[in-house]
Amino acid sequence: MARLNPRLITTLLTLLAAPLALAGPAPGKEPPTTESSMSSTQLRSTPSPVQAGKPTTLVLRVRDAQGHPVPTLSLSHGKPMHLFVISNDLQSFAHLHPEPRGGEFALEHTFEAGGDYTLFVDYARPGGGDAPVERHALQVEGPARPEGALTETPATQHSGGLAFTLHGGDAVHASAGAHLHVAVADAATGRPVEDLEPYLGAMAHFVVLSADGKDFLHVHPLDTRPGQGVAAHAVFPRAGLYKLWIQVQRQGRVVTVPFVLRVQAADASKPVAAPAHGAHGSHH
């Protein structure tokens, strides 16, 4: 019988081992994290279908990467979960907080009008790590609001007895960091408001959604002194119209004010900015 060349044997063993090395990580190393290895939420509503003008129970179940229920979550700004309910025409907005209930997270909410809604779920991932905002589509039966075109708003908007003036909204470019400063004054006197209170651990909450509903962003404010209003750093990924909701608290009451601004095309002379620290977003 012919004897095999030792060098040939070594070469054959090396070739056979190569696919094994590509099939998985080396011993003692964890595989890279992918979207499929992250937790996720499931939504159900009672009654179903949802009817406008009638109370609805919204229940969210969190499951880990293995599909096991997650009954408790770490607090994020004082709450285990933040739920943003926004109609697809951007006319309706609500910032809600499901609470633990029987191993799930639930609340009651009444939709004012019929139509299509998107529910954005923001919570701290079990075990830490990145926390992309999840979204769920929901159809509500009943009379819908009259259709209205989304157009840019004046720099000053009024809500809850306050006058909000947005600075910097007319010079925002896609992919570049935008500094949004909002002066807050008493609508009756015109004097700067110095007694804003923390709302859910922050002096304000900024929520942004593109007109087509694809880009969502939830950011918290930069540090400002009393009387200087509120400010935030945000990165808008694309040019186009965006709706911005700003929430502040004064004398125990939460005031929400909306703005619509147009983001200009990316400026090649400006560097691409990284997302703001602590910002939670979603692109669909």
- In CATH, the number for domain 156-270 is 2.60.40.1930
Query: 94-108, 187-201, 212-226: lowest mean pLDDT where?
Result: 212-226
Among candidate residues 235, 241, 240, the one with its CA nearest the CA of residue 272 = 235
The superfamily in CATH containing domain 38-141 is: Macroglobulin (MG2) domain (2.60.40.1930)
Alpha helices in the chain (DSSP H): 6-23
What is the C-alpha to C-alpha distance for residues 7 and 5, in angstroms, rounded to an integer?
5
- Tell me the pLDDT band of 226, cut-offs 50, 70 and 90: confident
pLDDT in tens, 39-82: 789 999 999 999 999 999 999 999 988 888 999 888 888 899 99
**What does the alpha-carbon distance between residue 94 and residue 118 come to, in Å, rounded to a whole number?**
11
Confidence band, pLDDT 50/70/90 cuts, at residue 129? low
Two domains, one topology: 38-141 and 156-270: yes
Q: What is the pLDDT of residue 263?
A: 96
Domain boundaries, the chain: 38-141, 156-270
Order of strands across the sheet that contains 134-141: 50-51, 134-141, 115-122, 82-87, 93-96
Residue 14 clears pLDDT 50, i.e. is over it: no
Q: Which residues pair with 121 in a beta bridge?
A: 83, 134
pLDDT tens per residue, range 141-182? 999 999 888 999 999 999 999 999 999 888 899 998 899 999
Which of 182, 180, 177, 234 lies closest to 210, judged by CA? 234
Distance CA 52, CA 145 (A): 11
Average confidence score pLDDT of the chain: 84
- pTM of the full structure: 0.81
